Amino acid sequence: MPQTEHRDGVKAVFTSEPLSDEFMKQWELNPAIHRTDAARPTTFSAHVEPTADAAQVVRVVDMLLAELSGPDTFAAPGPPPRDGLVWNDGTHRWRNPHTGEEHPHPPPKADEHPPLAGRDAEVDEASRAHVAENYPAVRAAYLAKNAYTDPATGDVTSVVMNTDEFREHLPGYVGTNAGAVHEAASAANKKVYAEMLQSQKGKGNNTLMVLAGGGGSGKGTAVGDYFDQNRYPLVLDQVSDNLAKLEQKLDEATANGYATQYVFVDRPAEDAWGGVTGRAIGLRKKGKLARTVPLEVALKANIASRRTALELLKKRPDIKPNIIDNTGRTGRRRLITNRAEAVAYLEKRLAEDEAAVAGGLEAKLRADIARRHAAGDIPDDIAAGFVGAAALAANKGPPT
């Protein structure tokens, strides 16, 4: 009877056969899974055939755990990893081995945003309402920029799905407030993706490409060296920092008749952060919206996506490795397709970046943003989008 334990003591139990009423009553169990996120359905279930093998059962459990993930539940049955910290079984908290400082469990997820307030909360509400009330227009605007169509028929032949690309179609988005429109952009992306998953079947090479990697990793430039995305009827461009959710997408595509291809673009966390900052500043200079990502979110996503890539290749022999080593300069990239080589490469790279974070990388990059802002190289709103206005105020001083 595999089970995962809620942090407040409530247990979610998965069984291979129905439980007796007496047992259910004794253990105060409900026959369905409930969650507290009002934005999603309150209950769901999954059916597993009696003949299912262990791997199939594990995938269904992983899928349910991914769905359960939310503010009141664990995403996995056990303490998740956190960069630079070790788990203290005695206190059930994360401990910094260098300072002894402890942190509560569970840690924030890489894609988790802090509670919104003020203007951001207003933008959040307005953007959600906009998607709900004007979905056809939002969908059309997105596809006009992110889908390839047959000139003769107007039929969509290939489409790239990316939550980030929905933001510019939402009211109140100014580039430096991505968190304020995250929920609306995510909801729109999920809905259009579900539609495209059905309508794109059988087109092109009939393959879903999952394009993974943290922000600034170079997905927009590196992938074209090895793959022609126009041949893929559906491309899902995302960080992919959650193994269960990633597997769910791959298995869902397979169940719908697609072949699948996973491509991970690897770039060191510090270099990728340079890509994030350079993109925002470059867009502003061109008169476009400067898209910012908070430093702590970018670093966590970069490392978590690499860890997920490694876990996927170790767990799923049916998923072929396509790892783009983007650690060198343009022209020195390479595509790794050998599984053993890919695993060894990702293990080495993960260890390198985890060591960098444990060694104070975030503080170093935060200080660099403050220095460049004080020198006038980074505008106020962009710098605040990277490290927060409070951090800038604390570091205010003459250029160095």
> Would 284 be classed as within a structural domain?
yes
At 75, is the pLDDT very low, low, confident or very high (cuts 50, 70, 90)? Answer: very low
> Would 278 be classed as within a structural domain?
yes
Identify which of 30-39, 78-87, 126-135, 331-340 has the greatest average pLDDT.
126-135
Residue type, 74: F
What is the three-class DSSP state of 235?
A: strand
Please tell me the distance from the alpha carbon of residue 123 to that of residue 257, in angstroms, as a whole number: 39
Please tell me the distance from the alpha carbon of residue 209 to that of residue 258, in angstroms, as a whole number: 10
Q: Are residues 131 and 51 in the same domain?
A: no
pTM above 0.75, yes or no: no
If one counts the domains in the chain, the total is 3
Q: Are residues 219 and 178 in the same domain?
A: no
Q: Are residues 54 and 180 in the same domain?
A: no
Please tell me the distance from the alpha carbon of residue 259 to that of residue 356, in angstroms, as a whole number: 37
Query: Which range marks the domain in which residue 179 is found?
Result: 110-199
Mean pLDDT, rounded, for 137-146: 96
Please tell me the distance from the alpha carbon of residue 296 to that of residue 275, in angstroms, as a whole number: 15
Mean pLDDT, rounded, for 308-326: 96
Q: Of the candidates 164, 199, 234, which is a domain's last residue?
A: 199
DSSP 8-state class, residue 102: E
Q: Are residues 274 and 312 in the same domain?
A: yes
Q: Are residues 210 and 346 in the same domain?
A: yes
- Of residues 355, 350, 255, the one with CA closest to residue 309: 350
> Would 393 be classed as within a structural domain?
no
Average pLDDT, rounded, for the chain? 82
Phi, psi of 208 (to 5 degrees): -85, 125
Q: Of the candidates 143, 175, 199, which is a domain's last residue?
A: 199
Mean pLDDT, rounded, for 207-217: 96
- The confidence score (pLDDT) of residue 400 equals 46
E-strand ranges in 163-258 read: 207-212, 234-238
Q: Are residues 206 and 350 in the same domain?
A: yes
Instruction: State how beta strands 259-266 and 207-212 pair.
Output: parallel
Element (H, E) at 323: strand 323-325
At 220, is the pLDDT very low, low, confident or very high (cuts 50, 70, 90)? Answer: confident
* pLDDT higher than threshold 80 for residue 398: no
* pLDDT higher than threshold 50 for residue 69: no
* pLDDT higher than threshold 60 for residue 36: no
* pLDDT higher than threshold 80 for residue 243: yes
Q: Are residues 241 and 340 in the same domain?
A: yes
Collect all residues with Cβ–Cβ distance below 8 Å to 140 and sequence separation of at least 6: none
- What residues does 235 pair with on adjacent strands? 160, 209
> Would 86 be classed as within a structural domain?
no
* pLDDT higher than threshold 80 for residue 168: yes
